[in-house]
Amino acid sequence: MAVTEIPRVAVSACLLGEQVRYNGGHCNHRLLQSVSKNIETIPICPEVGIGLDTPRPTIRLVHDDDKIHLIEPKSGTDYTDDMIIWSELQSEFLIKQKISGIILKKDSPSCGLERVKVYHNGNPRKEGQGLFAMVFTSMNPQIPAIEEGRLNDAVQMENFFARVGMMHRWWERDQQGWTMASLQQFHSEHKLLLQSRSPNAPAALGRLISDLSGKHPQQLALEYITLAQSHMNTIVQRKHIAGALRRAVGRLPKTISGRSRQRVHTWIDGYLAGNAPRMAPLAVIEQMFEIAEIEHLPWKRLFQPFDMNSGVFAKI
């Protein structure tokens, strides 16, 4: 399967408006509509996937015998094995589709990523993970995964799609086959972006790819993106974004006057203090690179507004 021009993202089908929920309804997510032209979505519904009807009796996670089971309480039917087998096959299929992210419905015993109810002797504890979500994320820790509820937070939404963008570029390079040179190039392009989320990431990843133990570049590239995504799976902090922006100012050509640079630092200070959106210093620095007619790839990777029209950048 060739890599598509825009990232492919798997999404719980009910979030896309498909009437696949246990009650025959859906839970269409309005934010997904606002970004849908920038991603190609692949709908997935694990419960329909294992052959359950719509509508259907509810199922739940039950702790029994030191194991978690997926049970339909009404009939007592245990769907655990069916769901695990389907989830493994579906995870392999999604990786063949070269997906760059996955958005899952929270609280679901199949799709929920965290704090899903697990019943102990009939009493629920919010401590589990939906079975499909558990299988997919353990097989593919490199793929950014998020619950739809977190997309309501603009900072988390922007970070998720920054990770999706990086994953998509990784797939594009992967298609050509990795060499040590292309992996080092990928790393140097993404240093600023990585630093803006996790200041220790560039050094840790640099050490990984300077490994001279003779690993095949293809294997190293997978280890690289897995570690990079785990560093980027973080709560984004203004001070880290500001640090990366100041580094970018240091990369501006000498033709940019000291006074102009100082003006950018003032915008960065304003962003850091919470008085200006991130877009303000981003736009000023971008304009300076443009005026100087310099294509600075690490900057491009940091300044990669996912979608100006989504309104996300006005809120962060």
Burial of 33 (0-12, 13-18, 19+ CB in 10 A): exposed
Pick the closer one to ligand SF4 by CB: 21 or 98. 21
The alpha carbons of the chain give a radius of gyration, in whole angstroms, of 22
Pick the closer one to ligand SF4 by CB: 44 or 248. 44
Pick the closer one to ligand SF4 by CB: 58 or 309. 58
Shortest distance (Å) from residue 252 CB to ligand SF4: 47
Pick the closer one to ligand SF4 by CB: 47 or 158. 47
CB atoms within 10 A of CB 75: 8
Binding status of residue 108 toward ligand SF4 by CB under 6 A:
yes
Binding status of residue 106 toward ligand SF4 by CB under 6 A:
no
Stretch 228-287 residues interacting with ligand SF4 (CB under 6 A): none
Shortest distance (Å) from residue 133 CB to ligand SF4: 9
Pick the closer one to ligand SF4 by CB: 59 or 264. 59
Pick the closer one to ligand SF4 by CB: 113 or 268. 113
Beta strands in the chain (DSSP E): 8-12, 40-44, 60-64, 67-72, 77-78, 101-104, 116-120, 123-128, 145-147
The Cα angle at residue 35 between residues 47 and 133, in degrees rounded to 5: 30
Stretch 25-64 residues interacting with ligand SF4 (CB under 6 A): 45-47
Stretch 128-167 residues interacting with ligand SF4 (CB under 6 A): none
Binding status of residue 111 toward ligand SF4 by CB under 6 A:
yes
Shortest distance (Å) from residue 12 CB to ligand SF4: 4
Q: Is residue 137 within 8 Å of residue 95, measured between CB atoms?
A: no
Contact stretch for ligand SF4 (CB under 6 A) within 9-17, 135-143, 187-195, 292-300? 9-17
Q: Is residue 63 within 8 Å of residue 112, measured between CB atoms?
A: no
DSSP string covering 142-172, please? TS-EEEGGGGGSHHHHHHHHHHHHHHHHHHH
The token pair at 117 is: 């109810």
Shortest distance (Å) from residue 13 CB to ligand SF4: 5
Pick the closer one to ligand SF4 by CB: 70 or 192. 70
Shortest distance (Å) from residue 17 CB to ligand SF4: 11
Distance between CA atoms of 167 and 311, rounded to whole angstroms? 23
The Cα angle at residue 288 between residues 286 and 290, in degrees rounded to 5: 70
Distance between CA atoms of 18 and 43, rounded to whole angstroms? 9
In terms of phi and psi (left: phi > 0; alpha: psi -120 to 50; beta: otherwise), the region of 17 is left
Binding status of residue 198 toward ligand SF4 by CB under 6 A:
no
Binding status of residue 12 toward ligand SF4 by CB under 6 A:
yes
Binding status of residue 102 toward ligand SF4 by CB under 6 A:
no
Binding status of residue 16 toward ligand SF4 by CB under 6 A:
no
Burial 109-135 (b: 16+ CB within 10 A, else e): bbbbbeebbbbeeeeeeeebbbbbbbb
Binding status of residue 14 toward ligand SF4 by CB under 6 A:
yes
- # of chain residues touching ligand SF4 (CB under 6 A): 12
Binding test (CB under 6 A) with ligand SF4, winner from 21, 98, 173, 301: 21
Task: Please give the residue ranges that form the binding site for ligand SF4 (CB under 6 A).
Answer: 12-14, 20-21, 45-47, 105, 108, 110-111
